[in-house]
Chain A
Amino acid sequence: MDATLPPASPILPDFAALPQAPAPVTQLGRTLAADVLKLRRTAALRLTLFSGALPVLLTFCIFFFKGHLIMKAGGDPWPRFISTAWQTAGTLLLPLFVVLLTSLVVNIETKATAWKHLYAQPVGRGAVFVSKLLLVLALNAGALLLFVGLLLGAGALLGLLRPGQGFQTYSIPFGTVGWMLLRTYLATLGLLAVQYIVSLFWRSFVVPVGVGMGAVVATFALLQWEHVSKIPYAAPFLTAMSMQVSKAGVLEAAPEVARHEWYALASFGAVLVAGYLVLYRRNVTN
């Protein structure tokens, strides 16, 4: 080294020994902790809260103002109330919610041009991939739970405000609601995986939202097709429509995972594995 230069510090790193990389679970835990923090004050979080409440609010208003007409014949109001709300939520709102949620969560990094930063941190690409996926899955579950909680709460409230409809006299069909909750969640997983991979691949907000909206609309046009149950975007609709109110006024939903829900689960697994293999080796250019 040249004499005119100030001497280099004696505290040079000892770089012969290579320390252990943190365990994959540790990496995932750290990534998840960071991802949860980044969720603060985001549209993704507000959307989750809002989407759970909107269909309940609509159904509540319908029953509050027109319930006496719907329940003219008397009997248990819960089946009709729950199925009205579920069909409002499950047919159109739920697929669009999943599309928006996934795009918004991935967009947190894209908007901050943070992919280059994220991948230059000492966590593997797998940890980044799984962490955000878990986040989307948790928010999706949160929105559904919020929806069900608010729905049952709104029914109870109607029991107080509109005692004539009989919400307070009949018991809540918890078993059926529980099954529908599980089945609806499973039904969203296929399209969630597709949207997740599309969002990660294009790293934009517009492309996944466009793809998602297009797919939801196209699915509606294809509802009569014999293979519609294999389209991930159709699954939430099929699940919501599978819940019926029988002539006797009983809420009916099969207490088993339906064929289209198995398909959704299978596409979830297949799309994620294929997507990860494509994304894993990719260069990070933004």
Chain B
Amino acid sequence: MQLAPLLETRGLHFHFGKRPILHDVNLRVEPGSIYGFLGPNGAGKSTTMRLLLGLLRPGAGSVHLFGHDMARHRVTLLNRVGALIENPSLYDHLTGRENVEATRRLRGVAAHRTAEVLELVGLADNAHRPAREYSLGMRQRLGLAIALLSNPDLLLLDEPTNGLDPNGIIEMRELLRRLRQEHGKTIVVSSHLINEIEKVATHVGVIQEGRLVFQGSLPDLQRLQTGRARLVLETEDADTCRNLLPRLLAGATVAGAGTLWLPWLSREHTAELAAALTAAGQPLYGLRLEQPSLEDTFLHLTEVKADLVQ
């Protein structure tokens, strides 16, 4: 079943002065999903996040939250959005609790929420300390607590694991999962690391040089890489083999003196290749199938700018 998107951008363009940043970005985030927004640094992730929050004005196109136009109903729509953009905005001269309290007053949220969100991110014991004494991980968690204050339906988190240690990253992941499964939140989380996203996201969007080069569910992304499986062939002399079997080794590249890489086509093709190689008198030291990792797929997507948007 195709759900109406909770967050949608239509033909979003943005440029800083004459420098174009985003080209025709059409995001589609379904309710109840964790949307991993991936891309290398400088690809336009933060700019997109800022556009989603109405911090920047799009050059063309529009942002729709909960089915309504962001440009027309910004204040109303932001009531249901919690966000953490880049490094959290913390007032160092205030305590952790006062930091939460400042945003609580600003949003007109009930007073008991301050203690609740501090508890939720595990900062209740340190809430009396000034924010300037907080570690990077604690600051990130405090930022998340502030984003969760109004119990928002949509959470926008820009690189939330920045500066977290491995334990912190695992805790953050657990928290995001819990927020989705137990509280029905829709979460957009940006990152430049696929390994971080693949463990938690249900959907993925990949951005490269301001263009969305992939968008779909995580299984879709996993399927994309099966077409890119690679056969690795180890022999004595790679060049000789390629000259002897020009048809079977048509798509092969020489990766080393005795190593050939070729795209995996079929089981029959593999068997035929092995037989032909032995028949030609060449030694066959190894023949194996390599599945590219999601990371390879991600790197591939962000290198070739393939037009894979669905």
Contact = CB atoms under 8 A, between A and B. Distances in A.
B165 to A, nearest CB: 23
Interface residues of A, number: 48
Contact of B89 (A4, A37, A113, A281): A113
Interface in B75-113: 75-81, 83, 85-94, 98, 101-103, 105-108
B33 A15 contact: no
Nearest to B6: A15
B122 interface: no
Residue among A41, A111, A120 with the highest chain B CB neighbour number at 10 A? A120
A31 interface: yes
Contacts of B85: 116-117, 120
Given A2-B217, A19-B79, A30-B105, A284 B56 contact: yes
A41 B102 contact: no
A225 B282 CA distance: 99
A1 interface: yes
A38 B90 CA distance: 11
A6 interface: yes
Contacts of A33: 105-106
Residue among A2, A12, A116 with the highest chain B CB neighbour number at 10 A? A116
A39 to B, nearest CB: 10
Q: Contact size class for B?
A: 35 or more
Nearest to B146: A117
B75 A124 contact: yes
Interface string A25-66: 011001101100110111000000000000000000000000
B108 A26 contact: yes
Contacts of B102: 34, 37-38
B176 to A, nearest CB: 13
Given A37-B98, A119-B55, A111 B92 contact: yes
B94 A41 contact: yes
A1 B32 CA distance: 11
A16 B31 CA distance: 13
B105 A5 contact: no
A171 interface: no
Contacts of A122: 75-76, 78-79, 107
B283 interface: no
B105 A37 contact: yes
Contacts, number: 147
A30 B106 contact: yes
B20 to A, nearest CB: 15
B76 A9 contact: no
B57 A283 contact: yes
Contacts of A18: 66, 68, 73, 76-77
A34 B105 contact: yes
A22 interface: yes
B183 interface: yes
A257 B185 CA distance: 59
B74 to A, nearest CB: 8
B217 A31 contact: no
A31 B107 CA distance: 8
Contacts of A114: 89-91
B182 A9 contact: yes
A21 to B, nearest CB: 4
Contact of B107 (A8, A40, A42, A121): A121
B235 interface: no
A8 B92 CA distance: 38
B93 A41 contact: yes
B181 interface: yes
A13 B55 contact: no
Nearest to B76: A21
A12 B83 CA distance: 19
Given A15-B153, A283-B55, A113 B105 contact: no
Residue among A5, A8, A31 with the highest chain B CB neighbour number at 10 A? A8
B219 A4 contact: yes
Nearest to A12: B31
Given A21-B76, A30-B107, A37-B98, A15 B66 contact: yes
A66 to B, nearest CB: 41
Contacts of B182: 9
Nearest to B31: A12
A42 B55 contact: no
B50 interface: yes
30 contacts: A1-B1, A2-B219, A8-B32, A8-B202, A9-B180, A9-B182, A12-B31, A13-B66, A13-B186, A15-B31, A16-B67, A18-B76, A19-B76, A19-B79, A30-B107, A34-B103, A38-B91, A38-B94, A40-B98, A112-B89, A112-B92, A113-B87, A113-B89, A117-B103, A119-B55, A120-B83, A122-B76, A123-B75, A283-B55, A284-B56
Interface of A: 1-2, 4-6, 8-13, 15-16, 18-22, 26-27, 30-31, 33-34, 37-38, 40-42, 108, 111-124, 281, 283-285
Given A1-B1, A8-B31, A18-B68, 15 more contacts: A8-B184, A11-B183, A15-B66, A26-B108, A30-B106, A33-B105, A33-B106, A34-B103, A112-B92, A117-B89, A120-B55, A121-B103, A122-B107, A123-B75, A285-B50
Top 9 closest A-B pairs, CB basis? A8-B32, A15-B66, A11-B184, A117-B89, A9-B184, A114-B89, A13-B153, A284-B55, A34-B106
